Amino acid sequence: NMVAPQPRRIAATGVASRVAQERSEDIGGTIGYSIRLETKRSRKTRVLFCTTGVLLRRLADDQELSGVSVVCVDEVHERSLDSDFLLVLLKDVMARNASLKVVLMSATMDASKFAAYFAAESGGKPCPVLEIPGFTFPVKEL
């Protein structure tokens, strides 16, 4: 199972809806979301989009993230107290649960800093860094 925290509520619900739509599924099936005061998921949910705060609350109750094999943190360059604290806790969970994979994504992050931070938990072995080249589209004013 994968958990994908998002920095904002609208991002969590919007991305979950889009992924479910792309998979021709209803939200709450294998794709779900959880934001404060609203959850759409089921026993079949395998990918859960949530806010950073929801994941932090889960970590307070379940410090091993039982049943989660991947945490995919998008927009990791958007720094906040919650997101920084989440990375600290995920590093701690990884030290106790070697099977947990953490994926950090951003269009603008300095990957070397994040790789060095998480490498300390793997005996100094560098974390894999994948770069996918992107491009921008020209914008014309009308």
pLDDT tens per residue, range 21-55: 999 999 999 999 999 999 999 999 999 999 999 99
When pLDDT is cut at 50, 70 and 90, the band that residue 82 belongs to is: very high
Residues 25-42: b if buried by 16+ CB within 10 A, e if exposed: eebbebbbbbbeeeebbe
- 2-122: CATH topology: Rossmann fold (3.40.50)
What is the pTM for the complete model shown?
0.86
Please give the share of the chain, as a percent, with pLDDT higher than 90. 63
Which tens digit of pLDDT belongs to each residue from 67-77?
999 999 988 88
